[in-house]
Amino acid sequence: MSTTSPSQRRYEKTRQGILDAARAILRESGIEGISIRTLAERVDYSPSAIYKYFDSKEAILAALREEGWRLSEAMSAEMDFTGMSPVEMILAGGMNYMRFARTYPEYFKLMLSSEYAESQTMNEIFNNPDFAGLTPLIEAGIQAGQIELPEGVSILHARLMMWFLVHGASIIEISLMGEQREEFEQAANEVFVAATKLMAPKKV
C-alpha cells in the first residue's frame, strides 16, 4: 500500500504534466517560449490554475533547472573511465561538459547563463561534482608524470582554467549560428586537448 492518498497522487500527476509541457516548450521554442498562458493552454487549464501547482513562473523554471542538473549528472555518470589515464579522464570530463551544452543548449542556458541562472555563489561552483572531481584527477596526473605545473601555478589554478575554458567555449558555441557550429565544435575540442598538452611535462 502506498503512503500517498489518491488526491495526492492526482495532484502530483498534474504537477508533472505541467512540468512535462514546460519541458516540451523548452525543447521546441526555448526559454522565451515558456509563458504561463501557452503552458496553461497546452495542459488544458486556465492560466490561474497553474498557480495552484507552482508559486510562480520562476518556480517552474527552477524545477526545470533542477532537472537540468540531474540530466548533466546522469550524463557524467554514463561516462566510462575504465582504462583511462588521469589526463584522459580530464579530457573526457571537459568534452562531456561541452557535449552537454550543445546537446541541451536551453537547459545549459537555464542553468548557467547570466540571464536565467540564479546568481551562483563561489561555493556552489566549487562544489559542483563535475568541477570538484578535477582536483584528484589533476593530482593523479601529476603523480603519474602526465602533468607538470610551472612554479606559481597551483592545482586550483589548473582547475579554474579547465572550467573557464570549457565554459567559455560552450557559451560561445551556443550563441553561434548553425553553419559555423560544427567547425567551432571541432576547434573547441582541439583547444581543450591543447590545454592538457600545455600541462604535459616537456620531454627533454
Partner DNA sequence: TACAATATGTGAACACCATTCACTTATAGG
Partner DNA sequence: CCTATAAGTGAATGGTGTTCACATATTGTA
Task: Kindly state the cell numbers that stand for 53.
Answer: 501547482
Residue 92, CA distances (Å) to 66, 134, 149 in order: 23, 11, 20
To a copy of itself, the closest distance from the beta carbon of 57 in angstroms equals 15
Task: Kindly state the cell numbers that stand for 190.
Answer: 582541439
Binding site partner of 197, from a copy of itself, DNA, none, Cβ cut-off 5-8 A by kind: a copy of itself
Binding site partner of 63, from DNA, a copy of itself, none, Cβ cut-off 5-8 A by kind: none
To a copy of itself, the closest distance from the beta carbon of 128 in angstroms equals 12
Cβ atoms < 10 Å from Cβ of 23: 18
Exposure on the CB side of residue 45, measured as CA atoms within 13 A: 16
Binding window for a copy of itself (CB under 8 A); candidates: 39-47, 68-76, 136-144, 178-186:
178-186
Q: Give the one residue of 4, 20, 29, 47 binding DNA; rule: CB under 7 A.
A: 47
Q: How many Å apart are CA 148 and CA 139, to the nearest integer?
A: 10
Specify the DSSP element, H or E, that contains 195: helix 178-199
Number of residues in the chain: 204
Interface positions with DNA (CB under 7 A): 5-7, 10-11, 14, 34-38, 44-49, 51-52, 55-58
Interface positions with a copy of itself (CB under 8 A): 109, 112-117, 119-123, 125, 150-153, 156-158, 160-161, 163-169, 171-172, 174-177, 180, 183-184, 187-188, 190-191, 193-195, 197-202, 204
